[in-house]
Structure 1
C-alpha cells in the first residue's frame, strides 16, 4: 500500500507485507529528511486516541529520499484504519502530520491480502510435512545395502 503527500519534501508512506505474513512494515520517507540508514529512532505514532511508541530504523530509499521503517502489528493497523490522521513525533519534534482519509478501505484490502498470504504459507507448510517422509531421490545410493 502506497500513498504520497504534497508539501515540503513530499512524504511517502508505504505499508508492505514482508517475509512473515503476520508482520507489516511501515516505511515513511521524505526528500528533506536526514535520517541515517540503520540508525535506531524511538518514535511516537499518534492514531486518534491511540499512541504507539515504536523503535524505528533509519532507511535511505535513494540518495535523496530518507526516512524510517518499523514493523507494525494487526492492532496498529486496525487503529490506523479507524483514525483520521497519523502524527509522528521524535521527542518534542514533529516529524509529520498525515491525513488518513480513505485509508480504512485500503487497509481492508491489505488485511485480505495478508490473510490470503498466511493461508498460502500454512498450506505450503502442510504440503511439506505431508511429503517429508518421501526422499528427494529414492534411487540415490545411501551406502546402506548398495550394490558393489
Structure 2
C-alpha cells in the first residue's frame, strides 16, 4: 500500500506500507479519497522546533475517505459511504468525548499527520466515532476539508 512519508525535515518520499488489518471493535477501514493541506502539515514539513514527533511519519492531517469495511459494533456507517475524518485521536471515554465534544477531549493522544501517522496513505483503520458522513452532493475534496 502506498503512503507519503516525511523522512526528515523537508524531505518526503512515497513508500510501501503493509495494509491495515481487518477493522476491530468500533473501527472502520477507510480508503482515503482526498487529503487536504493543513497548516500543521506545513509546520511538520518545516521541522518546527515545538514538533515532538518521530520520523518517518505519514503526512496528512485532513482527509476524506470511503468506508471500505466496518468492524463489529459499527452500525452507523456502511461500505461505500463518503466520510470526513476528525484528525485528532481522542480517548472516547472522558466526559467531553461521551457528550460528542471530542474537541474538548481530556486525553488526546495526538494529531494524525503530526504526532501520529496521517492520512496520506491508501487505507487506514479509524474509530467510527471520529468519522462524519458527508452530506449528499459533497465531493471527496470538499469532505476532506470539512471538519
Q: TM-score range by the shorter chain?
A: under 0.3
Q: Please give the TM-score of this superposition, normalised by the length of structure 1.
A: 0.27
Larger Rg: 1
Q: Please give the TM-score of this superposition, normalised by the length of structure 2.
A: 0.27
Higher-helix-fraction structure? 1
